[in-house]
Amino acid sequence: MHRLLLAALLTVSCYTTCTENYDLSAIKQKIKQGDLVTATTQLKSLAKQYPTSFNILLELASALRKNAQHTQAITVIAPLLNSHTLSSKELFRLHSELGINFRRILDTHQANVHYTKAKEIALQLNDKELLARAHANLGVLYDTQSNLALAMQEQTAALELLQNSTNWELQASVYYNLGDMSLRLNNLEQASHFFLRALESDKKSGDRYNIASTSLSLAKITIRQEKYVLAIEQLHETIEYLTPLNATQQLSVAYRQLAIAYQHTNHFQKALNNAKQSVYFSLKTDSPIYKTYAYMQLLELYLLQQDIPSSKHTLEQITLLLEDIDNEILTLKFHRYNARFFELSAQLTDAVFHYKKVDSYHNIIQKNYLSESTANHMKQVDALVQRQKLITSEQNNAITKAELKSQRLEKRVWLLGYSIIFILSILLISLYYIKHKRAHYKAKLYQASLDLKDKMLADISHELRTPLSVLKLNIEALEHDLQEDKSLAYLKINDKISQLNNLISDVYQLSQVDNCSMSLNNQVHLVSALFKPYADDLQTMVTTKNLTCVIDNTVSDKQSIYIDKQKLDQIIYNVFKNACLYTDSPGFVRLKVRLNPTQLFIQIDDSSPGVPQPQIQHLFERLYRIDSTRSKSVDGSGLGLSICLSLVNLMKGSISLHKGKFGGLCVRLLLPLHYRKNND
């Protein structure tokens, strides 16, 4: 009962897992195709069905992140940190996803904690791909913290680890990050190169969301190159691509860039409309940075149009957002916009105050930039020194390992040499022993063959002596007129000559078989035409012995076989002769014939007396005679069944002897029909 219950539970578990994986696979395909809304809805439904499924919860968090719902994504997967059943790779994915979402909401401390744990796991697993992802994530974090030197270093390390990798999504991510940093360093040519490489990898991965994001970045470069008309065209295509994806974060950036392009082509109303769209989509995200940039672009346009009420309202929104943001560049821009606003409002005192703030923050930024640059250069020098030390250490370790490997190899060579010598010695001894045994066996076999030959010659001499003695007696009787009935004497002489002739013929046939000089002469024969004479002859034989003949032949008249008839005649008549000679009267002899697609089956059995079971196995031996009632004073050479066995073997068939169910002996023949031909 317990086993049945366990089997049922395993079946249900397997079915549940298969269903879960199937549903998740279909949803992943929708995410790749950009249908984030449907995918997120379905993932939420699956999460209710499988609230403890790691894969479903992580995929849901990823979808929420792509929808810019970072706080909700963290809420979904944070409880998984308390699970004790997660594998190392699952923990890596969990910490990486948490790090990305914390970075997006500017909680850089928590992002660093999770990214660092993910890197430690990747190092423990010694997995290049996971380690590359960890480096890439840390690079983005350093970039967020304006530490471009460390960011570039991490991304370059990730790129080196991804050589010969087919993880196109990760490669695209690294190229994208390098392109983004190059863009902010104003190296437009290098940025364009990295973004194009990222786009190639994105297309190979087939992720429409990433393809759209990379296309948007290429459009940004076009704006930086002041090719505004081309940028407008690119951005419209990108927005058309992004809209079905409901990618609010990217849409906010796209509309903001479009507003900038229209502003520089003096289409102020279009610029304003797109700036408002940028604000609309930024409010759907959790990111205060995206919201601030969107509002600042809108404020830029309001100030250009000298729309003081709208400018004031927008400034108030920016003021609220900056309370949660510690970013000196955004603060500098904020004071610059305030100065321009108060200048338009004729509030010169406030304008001067904010212009002073602009100068102050500008100096702070310059000072910080110089300080950071110096610190970064020092870090780079330290990193270079450490790198050189590490390279030297690795080289020393490599030399030590090479020496150890050489020593181990030398030991293995010596061990192998000793092993080969030992094996060769054993082999030589074995060969000598086998050769000696084989010679001994050949000598024994040769002696046995000589003994057998001597015995056979003795047996044949014995078999010849009897008919020869009878012949001599009858000839002497005729010579001295001692035989009254001369015709009877001649009949006996003729009978013994036939017996001698048969014996010599049998010995000659066996000699041919032993010397492999006998060959087959196969021809096509109708089965009915072949077995009718056998049936007639058997009938004649049993009649002279006062026996009954039974013929059981179900083979069709139209069926034909490809066989050596002469050899088959010898086999059949030898068995017939034995059956008739050794069957008591009244009795019967039966011939049974069957034909299947591959074999000819012949069975000849008779009635009592039978052959004792221990003696049946000796019947095929040459000159073997049974000392029982079955071997009454009958003529026979004792070679008939031996000849049958030799002929059957020559024909690639089989012959077997069994106790018959009618009390006598049963002989079964199976002859192959590999060359059978059909005339019907």
What pLDDT digit, counting tens, does each position of 308-336 carry? 999 899 999 988 988 888 777 888 888 89
- In this structure, the strands spanning 588-595 and 548-553 are parallel
Using DSSP, how many helices (H) and how many strands (E) does the chain show? 23, 7
Judge whether residue 92 has pLDDT over 50. yes
Q: Residue 586, class by beta-carbon neighbours within 10 Å (0-12 exposed, 13-18 middle, 19+ buried)?
A: exposed
Binning pLDDT at 50, 70 and 90, where does residue 630 land? Answer: very low
Least confident of 291-295, 455-459, 626-630: 626-630
In angstroms, what is the C-alpha Rg of the chain? Answer: 52
* pLDDT tier at 385, thresholds 50, 70, 90: low
Answer whether residue 676 shows pLDDT above 80: no
pLDDT (0 to 100) of residue 12: 40
Q: What does the alpha-carbon distance between residue 619 and residue 626 come to, in Å, rounded to a whole number? A: 8
Half-sphere exposure of 602 toward its Cβ, with a 13 Å CA cutoff? 22
Handedness of CA 336, 338, 342, 347 (dihedral sign): negative
- The reported pLDDT for the residue numbered 514 is 62
Q: Which residue has the higher pLDDT, 293 or 597?
A: 293
Q: What single letter denotes the amino acid at residue 339? A: A
Residue 2 — very low, low, confident or very high, per pLDDT cuts 50/70/90?
very low
The H or E element spanning position 668 is strand 663-672
The torsion angle over the Cα atoms of residues 99, 103, 105 and 106, rounded to 10 degrees, is 140
DSSP code, position 584: P
| SS percent in the chain: helix, strand, coil, step 5 | 75, 5, 20
| pLDDT at residue 428 is higher than 80 | yes
Q: Which pLDDT score, from 0 to 100, does residue 264 have?
A: 92
User: Is residue 679 predicted with pLDDT exceeding 50?
Assistant: no
Q: Does residue 53 have a pLDDT over 60? A: yes
**φ, ψ dihedrals at 656, nearest 5°:** -140, 150
Burial of 272 (0-12, 13-18, 19+ CB in 10 A): buried
189 burial level (CB within 10 Å; 0-12, 13-18, 19+): exposed
The residue type at 550? V
Q: What is the mean pLDDT of residues 653-673?
A: 85
Q: What pLDDT does 479 receive?
A: 66
- Which pLDDT score is estimated for 258? 93
Q: Mind listing the pLDDT tens digit for each residue in 528-544?
A: 777 888 788 778 888 88
Report whether pLDDT(282) > 60.
Answer: yes
Buried b (16+ CB within 10 A) or exposed e, 53-88: bbebbbbbbbbbbbbbbbeebbebbeebeeeeeeee
Tokens of 600: 């000819």
Say whether pLDDT at 462 is over 60. no
Residue 105 has pLDDT above 90, yes or no: no
pLDDT (0 to 100) of residue 515? 60
Residues 549-568 pLDDT 10s: 888 888 877 788 888 878 78
What is the tens place of the pLDDT at every residue in 149-170?
A: 788 888 888 888 888 888 888 8
Place of tokens 């000839």: 475
Vertex 472, ends 471 and 478: CA angle to 5°? 90
Q: Are 265 and 274 in contact (CB under 8 A)?
A: no
pLDDT averaged over the chain? 79
**Of 26-40, 280-294, 350-364, the least confident:** 26-40
pLDDT at 16: 47
Instruction: Give 29 or 463, the one with higher predicted confidence.
Output: 29
Buried b or exposed e, range 547-585, using 16+ CB within 10 angstroms: bebebebebeeeebbebbeebbebbbbbbbebbbbbbbe
Local structure of residue 521 (DSSP, 8 states): -
User: 676: Cβ–Cβ under 8 A, 6 or more apart, which residues?
Assistant: 560, 561, 562
Beta bridge partners of residue 603, listed in sequence order: 592, 668
Average pLDDT over residues 39-57: 84
pLDDT of 525 strictly over 90: no
Q: Confirm if 254 and 213 have CB atoms less than 8 A apart.
A: no
What percentage of residues in the chain have a pLDDT greater than 70? 79
pLDDT at residue 556 in the model: 78
* 514 phi, psi to nearest 5 deg: -60, -35
Res. 507: pLDDT tops 70: no
Residue 320 and residue 311 in contact, taking contact as beta carbons nearer than 8 Å: no
Predicted pLDDT of residue 271: 92
Average pLDDT over residues 461-471: 58
Higher-pLDDT residue of 202 and 618 is: 202
pTM recorded for the entire structure: 0.43
Q: What is the pLDDT of residue 626?
A: 65
**Non-local CB neighbours of 123 within 8 Å, separated by 6+ positions:** 131
Q: For position 294, what pLDDT does the model report?
A: 92
Q: Where are the beta strands (DSSP E) in 396-456?
A: none
Q: What is the DSSP string of 297-322?
A: HHHHHHHHTT-HHHHHHHHHHHHHHH
What dihedral do alpha carbons 291, 295, 296, 301 form, nearest 10°? 150
**Neighbouring residues of 558: CB distance < 8 A, sequence distance ≥ 6:** 526, 679, 680
Tell me what the mean pLDDT of segment 579-596 comes to: 84
- State phi, psi for 419 to the nearest 5 degrees: -65, -40
Backbone angles phi, psi at 367, to 5 degrees: -65, -45
Report d(CA 555, CA 591) in Å as an integer: 13
Predicted confidence at residue 7, as pLDDT, reads 44
Q: Tell me the pairing of strands 560-563 and 663-672.
A: unpaired
The amino acid sitting at 241 is Y
